[in-house]
């Protein structure tokens, strides 16, 4: 903590504390408002100046950090594009793998492939929710996050149907999941 910020906090807390103490002591000491008004205004002003100083120091600190990140070549828009491209690529790969898996009828093979899908794509997509919230418009991110939750539930139903041996249910859910992944890609365009 720098020394200016420390003194700004002392000024703020001291001013507010003295204002409260002076307001509380007035009835006890028999003083009236006209008697203590200058002191009360002085300590309130001291607290106000402290809060303004804190705000000014914090804003200049944030501006310095922004200047440093710009000077160091960090481009948030470039990070945004790279992140969204990576997520879009995950969606495309997931869609291709789902189309490939749709033809498999062996339960054990399918279960092993589902575990690979979960490790390779779904966990990464779920972890990218924060990136999506930060980089997309509010309506767009809300729509995509809702669709991601639907996809997660649909994938869990697909895995459960496979474990329970309901091949017809598995074949019915594959096209729904593939269509949902296509919708994810549309939202990111």
- For position 162, which CATH number holds? 1.20.120.660
The C-alpha atoms of residue 136 and residue 148 are separated, in whole angstroms, by: 14
| CB-count burial class (<10 Å; 0-12, 13-18, 19+) for 62 | exposed
DSSP state of 63: H
The two three-digit tokens of residue 102, written as one number: 């749709």
Residues 45 and 88 in one domain: no
Residue 149: is its pLDDT beyond 70?
yes
Within 118-137, residue ranges assigned H as helices are 123-127, 129-135
pLDDT in tens, 16-34: 887 777 777 666 667 776 6
* Residue range 75-86, pLDDT digits in tens: 444 455 557 788
Tell whether 92 and 111 lie within a shared domain. Answer: yes
Per-chain mean pLDDT for the chain = 79
Confidence of residue 181 (pLDDT cuts 50, 70, 90): confident
Domain that holds residue 66: 3-71
For residues 9 and 60, membership in a common domain is answered with: yes
pTM above threshold 0.75: no
Does pLDDT of 36 surpass 80?
A: no
148 vs 43, 77, 86, 159, 181, CA distance in Å? 55, 24, 16, 16, 9
């Amino acid at each position: 903590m720098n020394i200016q910020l420390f003194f700004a906090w002392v000024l703020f807390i001291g001013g507010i504390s003295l204002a409260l103490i002076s307001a509380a002591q007035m009835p006890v000491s028999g003083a009236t408002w006209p008697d203590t008004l200058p002191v009360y205004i002085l300590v309130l002003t001291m607290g106000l100046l402290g809060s303004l100083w804190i705000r000014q120091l914090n804003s200049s600190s944030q501006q310095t950090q922004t200047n440093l990140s710009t000077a160091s070549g960090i481009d948030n828009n470039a990070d945004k594009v790279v992140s969204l491209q990576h997520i879009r690529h995950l969606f495309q790969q997931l869609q291709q793998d789902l189309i490939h898996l749709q033809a498999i009828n062996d339960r054990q093979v399918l279960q092993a492939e589902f575990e690979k899908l979960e490790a390779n794509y779904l966990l990464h997509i779920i972890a990218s929710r924060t990136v999506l919230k930060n980089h997309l418009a509010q309506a767009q991110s809300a729509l995509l996050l809702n669709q991601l939750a639907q996809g997660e539930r649909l994938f869990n139903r697909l895995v459960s149907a496979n474990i329970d041996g309901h091949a017809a249910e598995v074949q019915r859910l594959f096209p729904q999941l593939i269509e949902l992944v296509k919708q994810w890609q549309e939202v990111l365009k």
